[in-house]
Structure formats: structure tokens, C-alpha cells
Structure 1
């Protein structure tokens, strides 16, 4: 019995509270009850009461036989005499509860002794109830029904939990596969003709961030990072879909060297009314290698930061993006683009807002301007820039896990 044992023995249930129809309704399924008593007359009396209610009855006359019987046929409930020679009911109950295969069988003591100490001891070793002798049929049957109902309810809950756990295991496996697939879409790092490294740390197994880069032709190199609102499966699906559209250049009639055309067409292709009310921000830039110029357009996304200057010196920081509406909000929005010079040795940082929107230990939020100022500082560590920045931002948040998807793309031209 899992609840706290009562201080005194429970009173018999009043007859007025027990339903006793002239023709007893059979149980939903035939429950098996094992009666253990060294007095044959008691077994006969209890067995008659139970069979009249439609229960299947097994009977043994000693504790040792009871322990043997439960190994060959598992009862749904045991009515166990407390005072028996050789092995009393207490010891039988202890052994039943010590065996994993029988510990869940409810045990109800049959006893002529209702002293508090004995009752409490019975509850403490695992009995769920007791019925005092001489037996009163309404009380005995009511207690049997109650504990059978509780047992079946526990079994139903256990089955439901096991089914839920199995479903959750399958879901976790599928989410892991989906996460692996999303990560497989992310591009490899590059060392030539320029160096590219990145960090992708989704706050859930499936995040809403995605990014990529590729050559549009021999002279133009496209770079993009998008951030779908929310997290989880829906956001990840939209993120992957939009990224594949850019990767495969599957917007009809669009010049993918022109960021404004790309975002205008992408907006019309991914209207929120057709995407379960999901929208996303995006930055899309195209670097023209012969002229070292980068044309870029943004849709509600944080402007990437271009740092100019030696690695170990204070740098000039240039924001590379103009304010534009979030993508998917409204059909027919015409996006514009801006053009920037990219000096040799400049570093471009394309980020999601999760990189700099960090809650500090004092409760304030790190700002975009603070992040920009941090990037301007000299770098003295030999580590990769993305690793240095990630460690700094994690420390700024008190070392806690990032609360939002953390996507950081670094390109050294």
C-alpha cells in the first residue's frame, strides 16, 4: 500500500454504501483470487462469497504453498490469513513483495487481530488492506472490488505509459534522423579562394535556422542565412524548404546574382498564409570576386558585420544590410539591395539574432551594438574566430545554454 497507513483500523463499510443487486453483475473480465488460510472452513466461506460474484478462486492452506502457487498461476489479488503455522502472513507478504514477479499483486490480510501495531506492520511490508474476522460478505466483496479496480487501473496506466514511452522513443529517433538530415544540408567549410567557418547550435533538436553558400557562376558567390520564427519540426521544415529553393535556384525567372530579385520572388513563394502562419527573416548576399563588391538584401534579418583591419588591431565595423519587411508577411513586396566594397583580409560575420540576444546574469540583454563593438576588438587567441566568439557569448550569458538557435558564419575574404 503506497499511501500512509491509518493510525487506527478502518471501520467496516456500512451496508447502505454497498450495492448488492439480486443478480450480481459479472466482472469485466474474470479475476483470479488466491485465498490462503490454514483453516479449511474459512477457505470454504470466502470461496463461496467470491464465486457467487463471478470470481475464479484458487485456495491453498499454507504460506509455502501460496509462494509455490503464484509461480505457476498469477492471481489478480491475494486474500492472506495473517496467523498461520510455520510461515505467517507477514513473512509470506514480505517474500511476495521481495520478488519482482509478484510484488505488484495486491495483498489483503484476513485477520482476527485488529490491533493498531499489527495493522501498521501489515501496511509497512506492502499489504494494501485487511478484512477482520468473522467475515462480513458486503465488506469483503467491497474491498476485493476496490483493490481489483485499483490494480487494473495501475495496469492500464502502466500500459499507457509503456505505449507513450515507445512512441516517444520512436519520435526521438525520427527527430534525430531529421536533425542529422538538416545538418547534412549545411555546407562544408572552405579554405580557398577564401576561408569560411561556421557554428550551428540549435536550441532544440530541430531549429529554425539554416544557411548556405555556393558559386552561382565562376565570378559570383552567394551567401545566405535565414531564421524561421519559432522552433521545432514546422520551423525546420520551412527552413529546409527555403534553403533548398536557394541552393537549387528553383525560383523561375530569377537572376540569383541579384539579391533584390531573389528576396522579392522568395517572399511571394513563401507567403505565411500558405506556410501555417510561419514567416522568416533572411539575409542574402552575392560577392562578385573580380570587383570585390558584395551586393546584399535583407528581409528583417540582423545586418551582417564586416570588420576591416588587422586581426590583432581595433577594426572598422560596417553593417551590411538595410531594413526591409520580414519575408512572407505580404505579397508583392519589392525588396531592395545595397552594394559594399570588400577589402582584402576583411572578415564578414553573418549571424542569427540568437548569437547576440543573450540574457546576462544581471537580467539585461546583450545588444546588437555591444556585439558589433566586441567584433571590433583585437583578437589575440590562435583559435578560430567562430570558436572565440561562441565562447565569449556563452560566457556573457553566464555559461548557460543558448536560449535561441545560434548560427554564426565567418568568411575571411
Structure 2
């Protein structure tokens, strides 16, 4: 009964089996879901898969079993239902319920309510956004953007909200392991793992889509949007992804004391696609052109008719001309056929098997032996009745076989099919060759951005340093780059960049950033300010979702310092040639191109003639070696220490490290590999023990 006294039909509820029926009864009997008590009289339907429920039925609610939640996430897409709730013993919606009444019309276009324990193990953001796409709530063009924002907000609410985990500080391997153990303990504890996390989505009349993520933690005070957000300190564990979320949404707001994050997306957020949209559109147009160009109009193709009987040649020609084929070439025997093929390079050959001088079998063999004609379609024609002859012509290379006397409709149909296939293959080959040529050009251009040995060695001598480097492009076109920027007689700038992704998009972004690096002035004043300027320019050039990690630093030989700023770069290694000691520097920071007004800290440390600096791309630490593990953390430091010790402070540290890495890495790297070392040229290193 509604407040106005209007009576509504019993709600229809889908029960996903296997499920605890007593638990279902208890949930429906309460008022957390149906605040008017209508759940106790709900019309229940049971099924073991989404297909067990009639799509024509509209369900107000689907209860998902805790035991098999992963399998039932597909129901979000395939079941005609707006509300999905996990059925588990500790369910307590508290101020999140009631979430549904018996009134007509759902409050939410989609609602998913899960326990923390289950949600932590499931790809919730991906499934939720997929369901929104299939329901027409969001368009495919903004789906990647929405998923990225929802994933960040969902992770914050799950980890920092319901689990109340503190993830601030430097994440060492020991801390990472301890954090994993604590996470497992809290997931098993009802006080944390039994809390509810809820995602809701609603499309408004103005076309905007509102998505909220609701947790049951203790809440938080969100960092202010202005001034420009920085990475949070120990005062708040929330917010590592908040600047990214804000950059992806039209608006972000907080309710319920910070326990609800509300995201608003506009329907025209096409610029937020995490792709190089211009390149993607170009490829799409090229593929479209290939798919439409002449494939249904092959009449301009050159057709060779090879037959020793003139009457047969004329009959075949008349059939073809009647269907619009006019570019016909003729051959009176096998030898003449080969001559005409070399002269006209036909798109299709109609070949008689029994001919003087050279029969059709020999012609087929000769053509297939020549790479230039190995793919040319050949329709053999024969009056032979025995199967042996027909089988042999295919073995010798014929594409198809048609029997004499020829049937006009059959001849034309087979001619069309083979010409369409031929033209399609030729155009795809041309497109592939053009694309490969463009990729090779981009690869050559990218390699031109990398300093040559004679260049960086010469610059090193100018500063009394030895500079060593190794760069290997991956099997895919990547986005790595490094370089040197001489400032004055004492100061030398050095940078290393890694763009996310592969292919032409990553390469084009590398070219953009390289131009910005050399167009920006004041490279030597303050590395943090310099990165901020680069980031502002890059943010305006990149679609949302594309970004770069970068480190820029200045070695001052007179002051014996190294001042640097990092945008989420791999942690540099600082070492001592004489002692062989090594330590990681802080590489944290906001990636370039994510937040327009991001700020970057300038860090300063002592860099004497005893020190060396090692910069590297993430391929060094994210490639699985032959023993099945990564070269990271203490293992990397130990390898560097051993190289310094065993080579007595070799001035070719980067090359030595690259050699050891390549010995144990796969032949084909999936990411660009870069390693650079800088040290004084007149150092006598430690003696090998």
C-alpha cells in the first residue's frame, strides 16, 4: 500500500541458485530492501543461469548467491532487472536501505550491492560499465572513461572505506606483503568483509549519467579541489586517484560524510576516450574504404581466357561481356598463356586443361612456382570425367574447377566470387604494406630522438662524466625516450620518458613531448616547475586516459648536486662507485597529461665524483626473466652492486646491466627497454672481493 492508498502488484524477484532459501526469506521479510514489507509476499522465480528467467518478465530484484557471485555477474547484462543484491548472512544495509519500494518505476537504472569480501575478488567496475553500455545508459565512446573513473572510486571506497586500510607511505616489498596479509585478515572478519558496497547509476533527463559508489566505512574529508590537488599525506589515506577521477568526470561530489562518491558524466565526453582517437578514426576510415572499394564492382579486372579452341574462347568471352567484364585477354595454348600472364598480370585466369604445347597442369605448376603469380586465382575448365584428372589439377595449383559444357550462370558466379576475393586480398595487402611502411617510418623517427653513442659520450666528456646507455625497441612500437639537455658549463639536464601504450599512438605522443621538451625554456632553474609547464601543455594535447611517466633532473658538477622531479617514473638508483652501495630514489608523482594543474616536488641530493646515477624504463623491472620472476627491488640493487664490484667500477654500467638483463629476458620484449648510467670519468672503483 502506497502512502496515497494505491495498491501495487507484488514485486517479482529473481533468485539465482544455488542460494540459501532461509537467507532469502529473511532478507525479503525485512524492510531493508522493500520498506513497505512487500518483499514477504514477492513473486519468486528461481534459476541456475540468467537464461533460466524469461526475458519478457520484468524483475524488480535479483538476489545473487554469495557462493557463486562471479558466475552471476553476467546477469547484470542478460537479465531484465535493475537491482542486483548479493545474498549473504551478514547483510546490513543500514543507511543504504531501504533501496527499493513496491512503487512503479525504479529509482535507479542499475544498482549492484555486494559484500566487501566478494566485491574485492570481482571485476565490478568492468561488469557494471558493461551493463550500462548494454542498457543504453552510456555510449561506447565514453565507456572506457567511465570505467576508469568508476574503478578508481570503487577501489578507494572498498580499500580505504570498508576495509579502512592505510596505504600511504613508500610501498616497499615488506610493506606490500604486510598490507596483503592485513587485507586478507580484514576480508575474513565480518566487521570489515561483511560490510556492503553499492554501485548505482541513473540517466537524467538532461542526458547526464550519475554514478555513485557507497561504502559503510568511517567516512573521510575529501581533499579540496583547489588549490591544485597534491598526493595526500599521512593525514588521509583516501584520494590517490581523486585527481584522476576529477579529470575524467564533469563533476565529483561527496555525500554521507564522504562515504558516497557521486560521479557525473556528460553524454558528449568523447574527448575522454583513453585512445589516440584521431589515429583510431583514421584506421577505421581506412578499413572502411578497403571494405567498400570496388569489392562489388570487379568489372575492371583483367581476365585471361586460355583455350586452344577459338569457339570456346568466344563463348566464354560473350558470357563475361554480357555481365559487364570487358578487360579480356586471350591465349591459344599453354606457352601463350604464360606469355600473356607475364605481359598483362591478370587478376583471374580461366584455363583449359587439355591444350597443345603445354597443358593446363604444366601452366598451373609454372605459375605457382613464380612468387609473382602464386596467389592469382585460376579457374580450370575441363571435359574430363575421371576423378583423377580433376584431383590432379587442384594438386598442381588450380583455385577452382568448372566442367564443360560451361553453364553461363555458374561461370559468371564463380568469376565474381574469385575476383572479389582477389581484389579484397590485394587491397588488404596494399593497406598492410602502407601501414607497415608508416610504422617503420615512425620507428625510425623515434630512434632519431634517442641520443647516439657518439653524442652522449661527447656530452659526457664536456662535463667530466662517462655516460652509458642501452635502448632496445620492443616488438611493438612503444613510447620510450631519453635525452640530455646541456644547460651551461656546470649543469647537465637528463630526462627519461615512458608513454603508456604501444603503436603509432604512443610514438606520436613521444614526438609531441619531445617537441615540448625542447621548446620549453628554463630547463635548469627548477625541475619541478619545468615538469609542471610540460604537463600543462601536454594535457591540452592528449585525450584523457593517455599519459606519460617522466623524470627530469639536473646534475650540477660545481655544486655536486642532483636536483630532480618525477612524474610517476621508475625509482632511479643512486650508487657509490668506491663502496658499491646502492639505494632507490623517490620516483613518485602524478603522470604527465592526467591533471592540468598537477604540482611536482623538486628533490635535491648530493652527487659527488664518487656517485653514479642509473635511470631505466619499467621493462627492466616488469619483464619476466628465465627463472620466472622479475628483476625488481633488492634483486635489482644486488645486480647493480655486483656489476660495480666485479667490474671494478666500470664506466659502462648501463651496458653491463643491459647485457645481464638480455641474457635472461625473452627474445621479444613487449615494452621498450631503456637504461642510462651517469658517473664521473676519473673514478677508480672497488676491488673485487
Say whether the fold is shared (TM-score over 0.5).
yes
**Equivalent position SS for 2:498:** strand
Do 1:221 and 1:286's aligned partners in 2 also have CA atoms closer than 8 Å? yes
Does 348-357 or 152-161 show the bigger shift?
A: 152-161
Report the equivalent of 1:408: 675
Q: 2:652 aligned with 1:379, yes or no? A: no
1:201-259 Cα deviation digits (max 9, x unpaired): 22157432222223323333222212221233332333343344334443xxx573212
Q: CA separation in 2, counterparts of 1:294 and 1:49?
A: 82
Instruction: Please say which structure displays the higher CA radius of gyration.
Output: 1
Do 2:621 and 2:631's aligned partners in 1 also have CA atoms closer than 8 Å? yes
Q: 2:617 aligned with 1:352, yes or no? A: yes
Closer, same or farther in 2 for the Cα pair 1:288/1:108, shift >3 Å? same
What does 1:41-120 align with in structure 2 at a 5 Å threshold?
Answer: 43=311, 51=318, 54=321, 65-67=332-334, 70=337, 71=339, 78=350, 80=352, 87=356, 92-100=359-367, 104-111=377-384, 114-120=385-391
Closer, same or farther in 2 for the Cα pair 1:104/1:331, shift >3 Å? closer
Closer, same or farther in 2 for the Cα pair 1:164/1:348, shift >3 Å? same
Q: 2:546 aligned with 1:236, yes or no? A: no
Report the equivalent of 1:157: 424
1:322-343 Cα deviation digits (max 9, x unpaired): 5322222213222212221123
**Equivalent position SS for 1:188:** helix
**Equivalent position SS for 1:227:** strand
Count of matched residue positions in the alignment of Structure 1 and Structure 2: 357
**Equivalent position SS for 1:203:** coil
Could you list the runs of 5+ residues in structure 1 that have no partner in the other structure? 1-26
Closer, same or farther in 2 for the Cα pair 1:362/1:320, shift >3 Å? closer
**Equivalent position SS for 2:552:** strand
Do 1:281 and 1:299's aligned partners in 2 also have CA atoms closer than 8 Å? yes
Do 2:553 and 2:563's aligned partners in 1 also have CA atoms closer than 8 Å? yes
Q: CA separation in 2, counterparts of 1:47 and 1:368?
A: 79
1:14-44 Cα deviation digits (max 9, x unpaired): xxxxxxxxxxxxx95796755545xx9xx58
Q: CA separation in 1, counterparts of 2:320 and 2:552?
A: 77
1:270-320 Cα deviation digits (max 9, x unpaired): 22x63123211122222232221222221211221111142xxx5222333
Do 1:280 and 1:326's aligned partners in 2 also have CA atoms closer than 8 Å? yes
**Equivalent position SS for 1:366:** coil
Do 2:553 and 2:564's aligned partners in 1 also have CA atoms closer than 8 Å? yes
Q: CA separation in 2, counterparts of 1:292 and 1:117?
A: 87
Measured on the aligned residues, the alpha-carbon RMSD in Å equals 3.7
Report the equivalent of 2:177: none
1:363-400 Cα deviation digits (max 9, x unpaired): 33232332123222343246821121001112333x53
Do 1:394 and 1:401's aligned partners in 2 also have CA atoms closer than 8 Å? no
Q: 2:415 aligned with 1:143, yes or no? A: no
Closer, same or farther in 2 for the Cα pair 1:217/1:33, shift >3 Å? closer
Q: CA separation in 1, counterparts of 2:340 and 2:678?
A: 72
Closer, same or farther in 2 for the Cα pair 1:342/1:147, shift >3 Å? same
Report the equivalent of 2:576: 308
1:83-112 Cα deviation digits (max 9, x unpaired): x8xx59xx621232244399854221024x
Q: CA separation in 2, counterparts of 1:205 and 1:52?
A: 50
Do 1:80 and 1:108's aligned partners in 2 also have CA atoms closer than 8 Å? yes
Closer, same or farther in 2 for the Cα pair 1:309/1:266, shift >3 Å? same
Closer, same or farther in 2 for the Cα pair 1:108/1:156, shift >3 Å? same
Q: CA separation in 1, counterparts of 2:491 and 2:530?
A: 14
What does 1:123-202 align with in structure 2 at a 5 Å threshold?
Answer: 123-126=394-397, 128-131=400-403, 135=405, 140-168=407-435, 170-183=437-450, 188-189=456-457, 190-191=460-461, 192-202=463-473
Q: CA separation in 2, counterparts of 1:184 and 1:232?
A: 21
Q: CA separation in 1, counterparts of 2:507 and 2:315?
A: 65
Report the equivalent of 1:297: 565
Q: CA separation in 2, counterparts of 1:223 and 1:353?
A: 17
Report the equivalent of 1:338: 603
Closer, same or farther in 2 for the Cα pair 1:370/1:144, shift >3 Å? same
Do 1:226 and 1:281's aligned partners in 2 also have CA atoms closer than 8 Å? yes
Q: 2:527 aligned with 1:263, yes or no? A: no
Out of 604, 622, 629, the residue aligned to residue 364 of structure 1 is 629
Report the equivalent of 1:23: none
**Equivalent position SS for 1:379:** helix
Give the helix-richer structure, 1 or 2: 2
Do 1:80 and 1:107's aligned partners in 2 also have CA atoms closer than 8 Å? yes
Report the equivalent of 1:21: none
Report the equivalent of 1:19: none
Do 1:351 and 1:409's aligned partners in 2 also have CA atoms closer than 8 Å? yes
Q: CA separation in 2, counterparts of 1:182 and 1:291?
A: 30
**Equivalent position SS for 1:106:** strand
Could you list the runs of 5+ residues in structure 2 that have no partner in the other structure? 1-297, 681-689
If asked which structure has higher relative contact order (CA below 8 Å, sep 6+), I would say 1
Q: CA separation in 2, counterparts of 1:205 and 1:334?
A: 32
Q: CA separation in 1, counterparts of 2:486 and 2:336?
A: 77
TM-score, normalised via structure 1 length: 0.72
Out of 204, 210, 219, the residue aligned to residue 481 of structure 2 is 210
